[in-house]
Structure 1
Amino acid sequence: MEHSEEKLMSKKKPAFPINHFLNDYLIEHSRNIKIPIFYEDLLRFQGSVVVYDKNDEDTLWVRVYFSEFDRQEIDLSLKKVYNILHSNGNEDNIQYLNIDAVDYCTFGNSKPFRVKVRNVLNDNYTYFYVKKTDASRVYGLELEHILSPYNLNFLVYKDTLIEEHIAGIPGDTFIKEILPKCTEPQKSQIAKEFVKFNERCMIRLLGDMRSYNYVIVPTHDFDSVVYKIRAIDFDQQCFEGKFKVYYPQFFKENYPMVQLVGNKLQENSIEQYKLEERSIVAKRILSSEDRLNELIFCMKNDEISNDANIEQLKMQIHDFTKDISFKKSKNMGEVLESALDFVRRNYEDVTMR
């Protein structure tokens, strides 16, 4: 696996509105549901304090507080949103919910709010996020739901996006604090997972998987711990023009992972794991064909990038695959359609021999 230091990302990606095709798709698949609060409502906070981690380092999140007048209304609305996201919207349990904190992040594109909800009967808590709607992110979330091993829970209503929290250890924290303490077999398993994650992001054109945009999820299996890698940020779906942006291996933040792959895996093993991931994605493409085709139709009738990026990306993937369909692509939806078709065809060609 290679690693590159060149500047990969544009300075800032614009947010794209939800068009009527995507809106209809979201309604059909129960993603578009009326909610009692909007992103803009949370911007009415009166002040904030910095949130520090356990090492007293700035987390880049601030804890916001509201006027007494706003607080009651906002708390109640956030509890209702929690119930809509995680249940059927029934409000019988609202008296047992408490909004422990509302945090705001000024870092990154989406400037999200993170809401901590606690059940006062047993002190169990969870988080959800309130963000501004961006079509790129919605496409990214849906593609993750369809093509990855993980189901995602989110809601869109007008200009507000509600996302469930994806639990795990932030990649940058894992690389810095936990990876050095892992056993040699664990390091080999993590290297394998990074190869598969790298391949999955590239296939479905999810960009900007720097170490703070994914989490590592440890699972106990018999007498060992197995690590999986999950994306947690989806706003760089099919926007950038450089093909390398869609490979996590090319971000300097992931260099320790790339080194791990080089140290732990032989070239034929890397190729085997790439093939395994392509095959798994191909099976998901085939098993979710109707829903995926609906989503791709929306993307093909949408504007989620600019002409320069589309031209650059389609030509770079054409040079990589030698598949003429990339050259013919007119927008990012068609580029992604060609990429998924390429994976599916290769899988079918092999299985039908």
Structure 2
Amino acid sequence: MASEEKLMSKKKPAFPVSEMLNAYLKNYNRNIKNSIYYDDLLRFQGSVTVYDKNEEDTLWVRTYYSQFDREEIDRNLKKIYTMLHSDGNDQSIPFLNVDAIDYCTFGNSKPFRIKIRNILNDNYTYFYVKKTDASRIYGLELEHILSPHNMNFLVYKDTLIEEHIAGIPGDDFIRDFLPKCTELEKAQIAKEFVKFKERCLVRLLGDMRSYNYVITPTHDFDHIVYKIRAIDFDQQSFEGNLKVYNLQFMKENFKMTEMVGKKLQNDSIQQYKIEERSFMAKRMITAPKRTLRLIKCMKADTISFPENVELLKTHLIKYVGDVKFKDCKNMGEILETILAFVKRNYLDISNKELF
């Protein structure tokens, strides 16, 4: 198995939001007006380490602000919450409290995690404040369009607001829950892993190591249904190595990949891959304008380096055998070629092998 160092670049830069992408976001109500920026949250005066229930470092720190800054920040964070989860009406703000503002220095996005509590019933939820990055925004939108899951996020100039995605972190699940699953549950998780792997590969969402996705168990009559969702979209169409987009080459996913080999036959794996590609094609067909507009933005944008584009084209031509990738000039055109292939095969009902 290739090492992580060889698979991925050491550092991915943040790409600015273009005017065309900004217009797209406005058209689909992803844009907001607010008086707080990501940089405003960096003004904290101190912090303490946040530990989990086992007294282990979570890599998050709890921040503290001066009284003047905290009052202003709290007011604006409550306003953001109402815009993200409701209609932005101020009537509910008196019943909200900002319980915590946590900061994470791990990873590219260095997000702030905001805990909002309803003081009337103590229910609480989270959202995240990050620096905008065009590739991350494309990743969120593609997830919204092509996956079974709706994505709730907002953009304000250089600040990105993301809704919290609930679930058990993949690394925690693999370590603590997977060994306790029944054989039938393991087979169902293996199926979902194959479909999740196919969706990430086809739409070029990279770096899906186990801590970058969550597993959500849902009780359904007499059994539990497990679903897998991406929670990190930094590596959308950036890397040139095709293996970065294939979950089986991430060492953190070894136990999941091993389980697929034990629980599923090749015919079943192929069936689930076809099912996922067909689902993605249906999503594109039901939202044709949105898909075309987003891909048009990507084609006019720069979200990777030229050497990454050339390397990915080479890998795709070798792996898929389709010379159409040779004419692609950027990541947007590469993704357009892949999605056109998926859609065409679905309409032809031929379900030819892509990857």
TM-score normalised by L of structure 1: 0.97
Distance 1:319 1:341 in 2: 19
Question: For residue 221 of structure 2, what is the aligned residue in structure 1?
Answer: 222
The 3-state SS of whatever aligns with 1:205 is coil
Question: For residue 82 of structure 1, what is the aligned residue in structure 2?
Answer: 81
Question: For residue 287 of structure 1, what is the aligned residue in structure 2?
Answer: 286
Q: Once the two structures are superposed, what CA deviation does each residue of 1:221-251 show, in whole Å capped at 9, x if it has no partner?
A: 1011110000000010000000111111110
Distance 1:318 1:110 in 2: 32
Shift of 1:289: 1.2
Question: For residue 234 of structure 2, what is the aligned residue in structure 1?
Answer: 235
Shift of 1:36: 2.3
Question: For residue 303 of structure 1, what is the aligned residue in structure 2?
Answer: 302
Structure 1 unaligned residues grouped into runs of 5+: none
The 3-state SS of whatever aligns with 2:166 is coil
Note the aligned Cα RMSD (angstroms).
1.1
Indicate if the aligned counterparts of 1:190 and 1:227 stay in contact, CA closer than 8 A: yes
- Structure 1 residues 164-243: aligned runs within 5 Å: 164-243=163-242
Indicate if the aligned counterparts of 1:211 and 1:253 stay in contact, CA closer than 8 A: yes
Question: For residue 162 of structure 1, what is the aligned residue in structure 2?
Answer: 161
TM-score normalised by L of structure 2: 0.97
- Structure 1 residues 139-158: aligned runs within 5 Å: 139-158=138-157
Shift of 1:351: 6.3
Question: For residue 330 of structure 1, what is the aligned residue in structure 2?
Answer: 329
Distance 1:213 1:29 in 2: 26
Shift of 1:324: 2.1
Matched, 1:105 2:104: yes
1:108 counterpart letter in structure 2: G
Structure 2 unaligned residues grouped into runs of 5+: none
Shift of 1:33: 1.1
1:172 counterpart letter in structure 2: D
Indicate if the aligned counterparts of 1:45 and 1:66 stay in contact, CA closer than 8 A: yes
Question: For residue 321 of structure 1, what is the aligned residue in structure 2?
Answer: 320
Shift of 1:286: 1.3
Question: For residue 49 of structure 1, what is the aligned residue in structure 2?
Answer: 48
Shift of 1:5: 4.2
Question: For residue 25 of structure 1, what is the aligned residue in structure 2?
Answer: 24
- Structure 1 residues 256-271: aligned runs within 5 Å: 256-271=255-270
The 3-state SS of whatever aligns with 2:90 is coil
Q: Once the two structures are superposed, what CA deviation does each residue of 1:250-277 show, in whole Å capped at 9, x if it has no partner?
A: 1000001001101111111111111111
Question: For residue 129 of structure 2, what is the aligned residue in structure 1?
Answer: 130
The 3-state SS of whatever aligns with 1:93 is helix
1:200 counterpart letter in structure 2: R
Shift of 1:321: 1.8
Matched, 1:347 2:346: yes
Distance 1:83 1:325 in 2: 46
The 3-state SS of whatever aligns with 1:107 is coil
Shift of 1:11: 0.2
Indicate if the aligned counterparts of 1:36 and 1:81 stay in contact, CA closer than 8 A: no
2:137 counterpart letter in structure 1: V
1:338 counterpart letter in structure 2: T
Distance 1:51 1:10 in 2: 29
Matched, 1:60 2:48: no
Is the deviation greater in 10-19 or in 267-276?
267-276
Q: Once the two structures are superposed, what CA deviation does each residue of 1:293-343 show, in whole Å capped at 9, x if it has no partner?
A: 000000000010011000010121122222222111000000000010111
1:319 counterpart letter in structure 2: K
1:11 counterpart letter in structure 2: K
Distance 1:285 1:320 in 2: 24
Question: For residue 252 of structure 1, what is the aligned residue in structure 2?
Answer: 251
Higher relative contact order (CA 8 A, sep 6+): 1
The 3-state SS of whatever aligns with 1:92 is helix
Distance 1:339 1:208 in 2: 19
1:243 counterpart letter in structure 2: L
Distance 2:49 2:345 in 1: 51
Distance 2:2 2:291 in 1: 32
Indicate if the aligned counterparts of 1:208 and 1:248 stay in contact, CA closer than 8 A: yes
Aligned residues: 350
